[in-house]
Amino acid sequence: MHPMDGLMLEQVPLAGLAAAVGTPLWVLSAGTLRRRLAALRGALDAALPGMVAIHYAMKANDHLAVLRIMAAGGAGADVVSGGELARAQAGGINPADIVFSGVGKTRAEMGQALADGVGMINVESAEELTRLSAVAVATGRRARIALRVNPDVDAATHAKITTGLAENKFGIAWADAAGLYAHAAGLAGLEPVGLAVHIGSQILSLAPYRAAYARVAGLIGDLRAAGQVVRHLDCGGGLGIGYDGAAELPAAAFAGALRAELGGLGLRLSVEPGRWLVGPAGLLLASVIQPKRGVGRRFVVLDAAMNDLLRPALYDAWHGIVPVSAVDALAPVSAADVVGPVCESGDIFARARALPELAEGALVALLDGGAYGAVMSSGYNARPAAAQVLVDGSRWAVIRRRPPVQSLWAGDICPPWL
C-alpha cells in the first residue's frame, strides 16, 4: 500500500510510519493525552472546585514524553518504586506533587522519597510504619503519610487487577485501620494526614467506587471523633476504558461519585488515573508475517508478539485489531486467530476475530495499547523492544529507537573460567 493511504492517528498516516520506522511499532497520540487529561480536570473542577489533585499513575506508561505532557497539563505522579520516583522527576514532575505508593518499599526507597521531598507516602502495613519511622528519624526528616486501607470491596474486575478485597496483598485490614492511625500519630518522624484507598483497575461501574468511598467516609468520621486529624483522602484510580466497545466510565460520573460520597467532609482529595488517560492514546502497529491455515482454523501471524504486548497472554485482555489499509478494511471478513511468532502457545492476541484476508506485509493496528503495553514489554525470545513514535497533529518523532539485537546481551558477563 502507499505510505500515505489508510488509517491515520491524528494527521499522520500509519502506513507512512511503518515505512519510515518499521514494525512492530508503538504509536502514541499527544493530542489524545492532552484532551483526556483536560477532560478529567474539567470534570473534577466542575464537581469539586479546587479540591481534587490528579496524580498520574505512571506505571501505565512511564515514557518521559508522556510524563512531560502530564506535567504540562498540571498532573503530579503516583509512583511505586524508587526508579519511578527518579523517572517522574526526570519527566518534569515536582517531587511535592508525587505520591509514593506500593506494598513493599525498601528502606533505601523510603530514604530517597524523604530526601527528594515527596508530597506524601502511602503506608500499607504496621511493619512499614515502623520502618518508615526509623528511616525518618535516622535522616532527620518528617514523613507526611496516609494509611492505605483495604475496604474489602469487590471492584468486579479481573482477579489479577483487583486490589480492594481482604484477600489481596494491598492495604491495611479494615479492622486494624483506626488503631493503626492512632499508633502512627505517636511515632517519631511521621505526620499522618489522611487515608488512601484503591480497589482495582479497569473499573467500569460506579457502584464499587461509591461503596468504597462511603465506607472510608465512615472511618474518617470515626477517626475525627476520636481526636485524630484527617485532612486528605487519596481516592485511588482504576477508571476503565472500553477495550471491546463497552462504554467507559465517564469522567463526569466518577467526579459525581466523589462529590456525593466525600464532598461534605472538608477533605483535600487526590485521584490516581493511569489507564483512562493513556490507554486510548496508543496503538501497536504490526505487519503480517504470513497467513496460515490450520486444521479448521485460520491464523494471521504478526511480527508483534507477547513480548511487545503482554496483556492478552497475561489477562486474556481484548484489544481491537483493525487493518490499516482502506482496501483491506472493506474486504469480506471471516474468523481468524491473530498470533505472534514467539515460541509459546499463549502468544495470541485474539481468537476467532472477524478480519479480512491479510496477505504478507499487510499492516494492522492493535488498539488501546497506550497503557500497560510498551512499559510491560520484554526481550523474550531475544526480540528487541519495538520502537516508539509520538504523533502531535501533523508532526511525528521517534521517541524510542529500536535497539540493535546486540543490546540484548550487552550487559551479560561471563565468568572468567568459561
Active site residues: 343
Rounded CA separation 364/322 (Å):
5
> What is the distance of C-alpha 73 from the center of its chain?
17
SS3 180: helix
Q: How many Å is the Cα radius of gyration of the chain?
A: 23
Identify whether the C-beta of residue 201 lies closer than 8 Å to the C-beta of residue 147: no
For 292, 336, 338, the CA distances from 297, given in Å and listed in that order, are 9, 7, 11
The residue type at 64 = L
- ∠ CA 113-118-122, rounded to 5°: 80
For 78, 270, 360, the CA distances from 117, given in Å and listed in that order, are 14, 18, 54
Closest CA to 207 of 160, 152, 156, 272: 156
| DSSP structural state of residue 198 | -
The residues near 305 (Cβ < 8 Å, ≥ 6 apart) are 24, 340, 341, 342, 347, 381, 383
For 81, 200, 201, the CA distances from 237, given in Å and listed in that order, are 17, 8, 7
CA atoms within 13 A on the CB side of 167: 5
Rounded CA separation 209/16 (Å):
43
Residue found under cell 465517564: 250
**199 CB neighbour count, 10 Å cutoff:** 29
